[in-house]
């Protein structure tokens, strides 16, 4: 078996030699997870807002339920959607199983609870008076909503990054719902699983490096933005 160093070198070589198949897998990962985050974020933030600013019976229960979904394993989400989307399932007629859309659905389900939970705590931490002030100054609810979102933007951005990090790195749901089809539903995590099962560790490491680089870039970006937002002392 090759050493870790040699494997990593081979991986870097793969990445920078412009291996088309590798880059296609990376593109699929970003496309699927990007769409999932885009679709999941608006309703999730709205839900977080209602949980923070509205008082209604069952609110606490909803928060607990949402937090429970944070711990649902990705494979269970995958299996649930598999059963729903299979031709034998209730949504079988849509024929979505083994498509990118199915992967997006699974990833939305994974990202949603994270966005709600972290969005909820970010909004809670924001100054409540922002909402009241905006409303008193005559802003309509929508306008006032954006004011608070702005107030809580760092927390919300952290929520976005955490959710994106979870879905771009998860293998269980993507494997079940996408089927790991080359050029179509093979993304970074399923490719790593496949390549390592074949003993092709270099490609697995190369893709792992891409994920790490991505995580670092996003977090550095967040740090940078947050740094700008800090009050000058």
Partner 1 sequence: MTTPLFQRLARWLVVAILFAAGSAGADNNPNKTIRLATTTSTDNAGLLAELLPPFTASTGYPVHVIAVGTGKALRMGRDGDVDLVLVHARAAEDKFVAQGYGEKRYGVMYNDFVLVGPESDPAAIAAAKDATTALKKLADHQAIFVSRGDDSGTHKKELSLWKRAAIEPNGDGYREAGQGMGKVLQIASELDAYTLTDRGTWLAYQGKSPLKIAFQGDPLLFNPYGIIAVNPKRYPDINHRGADALIKWMISPDGQQRIGDFRIGDNQLFTPAADAGEFAAFSHGQ
Interface with partner 1 (CB under 8 A): 1, 28, 31, 35, 38-39, 86-88, 90-92, 94-101, 104-105, 108, 179-182, 184, 197-199
Rounded to a whole number of angstroms, the minimum distance from the CB of residue 144 to partner 1 is 26
Rounded to a whole number of angstroms, the minimum distance from the CB of residue 223 to partner 1 is 29
Rounded to a whole number of angstroms, the minimum distance from the CB of residue 194 to partner 1 is 8
Rounded to a whole number of angstroms, the minimum distance from the CB of residue 19 to partner 1 is 15
**Cβ nearer to partner 1, comparing 28 with 148:** 28
**Cβ nearer to partner 1, comparing 49 with 112:** 112
Tell which residue, 12, 3, 2, 4, has the closest CA to residue 203. 12
DSSP 3-state of 88: coil
Distance CA 174, CA 167 (A): 9
Angle between helical axes of 153-169 and 20-53 (0-180°, round to 10): 140
DSSP 3-state of 166: helix
Q: Are 20 and 28 in contact (CB under 8 A)?
A: no
**Cβ nearer to partner 1, comparing 73 with 223:** 73
Tell which residue, 149, 183, 197, has the closest CA to residue 42. 149
**Cβ nearer to partner 1, comparing 53 with 184:** 184
């Amino acid at each position: 078996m090759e050493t870790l160093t040699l494997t990593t070198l081979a991986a870097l070589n793969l990445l920078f030699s412009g291996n088309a198949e590798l880059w296609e897998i990376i593109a699929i990962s970003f496309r699927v997870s990007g769409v999932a985050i885009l679709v999941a974020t608006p309703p999730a933030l709205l839900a977080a807002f209602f949980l923070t600013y509205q008082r209604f019976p069952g609110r606490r229960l909803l928060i607990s339920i949402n937090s429970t979904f944070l711990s649902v394993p990705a494979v269970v989400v995958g299996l649930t959607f598999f059963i729903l989307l299979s031709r034998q399932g209730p949504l079988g007629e849509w024929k979505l199983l083994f498509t990118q859309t199915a992967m997006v659905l699974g990833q939305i389900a994974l990202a949603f609870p994270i966005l709600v939970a972290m969005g909820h705590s970010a909004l809670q931490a924001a100054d409540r008076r922002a909402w009241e002030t905006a409303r008193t100054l005559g802003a309509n609810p929508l306008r006032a909503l954006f004011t608070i979102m702005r107030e809580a933007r760092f927390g919300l951005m952290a929520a976005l990054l955490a959710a994106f990090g979870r879905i771009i790195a998860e293998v269980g749901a993507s494997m079940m719902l996408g089927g790991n089809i080359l050029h179509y539903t093979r993304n970074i995590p399923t490719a790593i699983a496949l390549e390592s099962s074949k003993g092709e560790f270099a490609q697995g490491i190369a893709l792992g490096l891409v994920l790490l680089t991505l995580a670092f870039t996003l977090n550095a970006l967040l740090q940078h933005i947050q740094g700008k937002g800090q009050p000058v002392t």
